[in-house]
Amino acid sequence: MSTEQETPTVGIWQVFSTVFVRDLRIAFSSWSEGLNPLLFFVLVVSLFPLGIGPDPRLLSSIGPGVIWVSALLAMLMSLDGLFAADHRDGTLEQWVLSGQPLSIIALAKVCTHWVRSGLPLVLMSPLLGVFLNLPTTALPVLVVSLLLGTMILSLVGAIGSALTLTVKQGGVLLALLVLPLSVPVLIFGAAAVQAVVEQREALGQLALLGGGVMGALALAPVGIAAALRVGVSSGD
């Protein structure tokens, strides 16, 4: 009499939550590194009033662009090491060989990156908006636009990080790959805040950012997984 041993299957949610919690623990254990994008964001925005003067009208007019460009650069500087540590210690190779959906693992890592790098920028943005003399009516739109925009930047940037995984000193190449793809996010995000500053509707720009999040969530994990497989195979 023969018996069949069933191979236990791991649910998608369990795979996602396991990787997400693991990376959060690693992030909190080295929380000082996670502060770098936030400190960069605050310092860059704070330097503009010192450089151009304290004119309230001028600060209000350039404020949306300044905050958004600073957020984009802060997110970019945090992308270089997104998969590097897991690649060095062999964890990434084990994930590829495990048979679990690599796109779900990649999505979990992107979500951790956003919580660590993007969410602090979103939470700090109202204070910096007040610092740049943005009207109070523009602050909720600033928060929502950055909330959506930083999600897109994390997803798109993770593709570039995966593509440059095995490239030595790939930071410059990563910037060249990610910055052109980030321009539409920058334009619509800054335009949404600027529209409220000029007492116009911003629903159109926010809707485009929301559509961008949905599209990136659908497509980016697949692209990241494919790039990671190429990176692991080329590193063997």
Q: Which residue has the higher pLDDT, 11 or 217?
A: 217
Asked if the structure places residue 42 within a domain, the reply is yes
pLDDT cut 70: percent of the chain above it = 92
Asked if the structure places residue 4 within a domain, the reply is no
* Cβ neighbour number for residue 9 with a 10 Å cutoff: 9
Residue bearing tokens 């204070």: 127
Token readout for 56 is 């309230």
For position 235, what pLDDT does the model report? Answer: 56
For position 10, what pLDDT does the model report? Answer: 59
For the stretch 10-47, pLDDT in tens is 588 888 999 999 988 888 877 666 788 999 999 999 99
Residues ≥6 apart with Cβ < 8 Å to 216: 151, 152, 155, 156
For position 134, what pLDDT does the model report? Answer: 93
For position 62, what pLDDT does the model report? Answer: 92
For the stretch 74-127, pLDDT in tens is 999 888 878 888 888 888 888 888 888 899 999 999 999 999 999 999 999 999
Write down the pTM of the prediction. 0.89
Residues ≥6 apart with Cβ < 8 Å to 170: 80, 164
Token readout for 185 is 């996010």
Asked if the structure places residue 1 within a domain, the reply is no
For position 234, what pLDDT does the model report? Answer: 66
Asked if the structure places residue 5 within a domain, the reply is no
pLDDT at 7 over 50: no
Alpha-carbon torsion (93, 99, 104, 105), positive or negative: negative
For position 45, what pLDDT does the model report? Answer: 93
pLDDT band at 8 (very low <50, low <70, confident <90, very high): very low
For position 236, what pLDDT does the model report? Answer: 54
Residue 146's domain comprises 12-235
For position 1, what pLDDT does the model report? Answer: 38
Q: Is-contact 205 144, C-beta < 8 A?
A: no
For position 9, what pLDDT does the model report? Answer: 46
Q: What is the mean pLDDT of the chain?
A: 88
pLDDT band at 168 (very low <50, low <70, confident <90, very high): confident
Asked if the structure places residue 148 within a domain, the reply is yes
Token readout for 13 is 């949610």
Q: What domain count does the chain have?
A: 1
